[in-house]
Amino acid sequence: MSDLIHTQPRASIIMIARERHALTETALEYVNRNTAKPYRLIYTDGQTPEWLWQRLEQRAPEWGLELMRQHKPLWPQALRNRALDSITTDYVVLIDNDVLVSPGWLEKLVSCADETNAGIVGPLYLWGDGVKKPLIHMAGGYLEKTSTEAGDILRQFHPFENAEYEKVIAELSRKQCDNVEFHCMLIRTSVLKEMGGFDESILNVHEHVDTCLSAKKLGWTTYMEPAAQVHFLHFAPYRLEDIAMLRWRWADASTETSIEAFCKKWHVLNHPDTFDNMRHFVSNVLSGGIDPIRKFSQSCADHNIPMRREELRQTRSDMLNMAAERGYNPQELAILSNGYRLAQSLTDGGYRPCSRPFVNHLVGVASILIRYGFKIDLVLTGLLHTFYSHGPSHPDGADAAVEAVATLLGGIGSPIENRVRSYTLRNGNFSEFLSRKVQELLISEVEVLILAAAVSIEINLSGEVRYSSRSDALSADYNQALAQACDLLGVNGLSATFDQINRSASVSADLNTKLNQSYRLLSDKQNAVSMSNNLLTAQHKLQASQPDLK
């Protein structure tokens, strides 16, 4: 009988896709590598791309993995419920597909539940990008209820959030808490059955709080066990194919539906103190550093319409007016205004090959990105994209020039500096980008493709190609990749504009400047020097920082 006890799994692990797919194999590998057998491992999802499903089928025997394909998008609670009917183990562990488990994690969660008689146990959650040392994401969640005349307000607290583990390890111990998260949650199977499964009316936020409150209502406790640790890869780079699921998973309407269902069930107010942090998180997923398109621009019908020449903007005032008309907020307009001043200062006295002021080109690129609703960081990059390639020299040499430009852009490795550097070094990376499937490109790589398209469109719509000897040729592979990327982003009009611009049109020789480089007038206003002064020479090619999780 004792041998039978040791060979029967006590826990079933159910993994689902949280908001993307590319990390799934790695997450499953970590489970296989760091979890003592026996256990039951199930993967269930309704949006898994075919390439991944084939990989999971190939590796299922290796991992002892059971696959449950749903064939349609389902919210997390519904996915979890679909896998429950066949569970006979003492415990169920719910885990997301962007989490790396540490050695011994499952045994420690089970031991905690056994020793405390807890209904639910969560590990210490770390978060990071898979490259740099992770910080603490959550060490148990706590709730505080305040009664007012209007009703009850529920506030959440996460002690040690963003703390370095080594600095607070002495303060971490197994303790009872109010909630743990679905990044990784162990729950007694009997508790789940008593609850009737997970509440599917709560779609995409506060599911974990609801589950822990439901267990508490039945008399069960929730514990956090810091001896068990998992690493949530929240900051790992996203791929282009992730965008569709991200937009679906974190849609405003679904968030508000979830909040209303939660408030109704637990008789609490839909109060800013309770839900504003969650709304901010959901908003930031889309409009922050992941989706290249602004959240409030994703449904614009004219994103699928080619840009007309008269829509191109060349001045600061027209650029700001266009951004305001397209819904960019006052903070974003201030960013553009400051960016223009910076661009003007570094291109002062500079002219494009067609003899227009250099800064007009930068405004034009920014206006194209505004026209198609790209986020402010990318628009600002468009306004500053020539700082390394056409920046002024420095009396102390190239190293000092690179340092000066990097400082103006926010410092080496900052978001804008990283984008400008990536664009400047694009010619050395395009062939590698284009050798891969477009949907597998990282968002940062897609941004380089988009910037290159915006520059090409600008110098054609503005007449620069026509009135100078500037040539503009991108490969057929690039054109195809751009079209696929724009389709996945929902901005087909951008690639259609790129296809329509006339690169071969020319004017009579006496109207052509016969220049193919930008230039800067010297103080005598009679002589000029080339502005082409690529600061990122061979010895300065510090590659743009990009985590690469293997």
Q: Tens digit of pLDDT for each residue in 310-359?
A: 999 999 999 999 999 999 999 999 999 999 999 999 999 899 999 999 99
What per-residue confidence (pLDDT) applies to 543? 52
Residue 280 pLDDT: 86
3-state secondary structure of 43: strand
Q: Give the count of beta carbons closer than 10 Å to the beta carbon of residue 272.
A: 10
Comparing CA positions, the residue from 423, 483, 293, 305 lying closest to residue 370 is: 293
Give me the chain's average pLDDT, please: 91
For residue 504, the model assigns a pLDDT of 54
- pLDDT at 25 exceeding the cut of 80: yes
**How far is Cα 539 from Cα 140, in angstroms, rounded to an integer?**
48
Q: Supply the pLDDT for residue 400.
A: 86
Task: Kindly indicate the confidence band of residue 298, based on its pLDDT and cuts at 50, 70 and 90.
Answer: low
Mean pLDDT, residues 85-109:
97
Asked if the model's pLDDT at residue 532 lies above 50, the reply is yes
Q: Does residue 497 register a pLDDT over 90?
A: yes
The percentage of the chain sitting over the pLDDT mark of 90, rounded to a whole number, equals: 76
Q: Which domains does the chain have, with CATH numbers?
A: 2-287 (3.90.550.10), 312-502 (1.10.3210.10)
Q: How confident is the model at residue 531 (pLDDT cuts 50, 70, 90)?
A: confident
The confidence score (pLDDT) of residue 503 equals 59
- Structure-derived torsion over alpha carbons of residues 417, 419, 423, 425, reported in degrees to the nearest 10: 60
How much is the pLDDT for 524? 74
Q: Is the peptide bond before 38 cis (omega within 30 degrees of 0)?
A: yes
pLDDT, residue 3, reads 43
Longest CA–CA span in the chain (Å) reads 98
Segment 28-74, tens digit of pLDDT:
999 999 999 999 999 999 899 999 999 999 999 999 999 999 989 99
CA atoms within 13 A on the CB side of 429: 19
| Residue 284: pLDDT band with limits 50, 70, 90 | confident
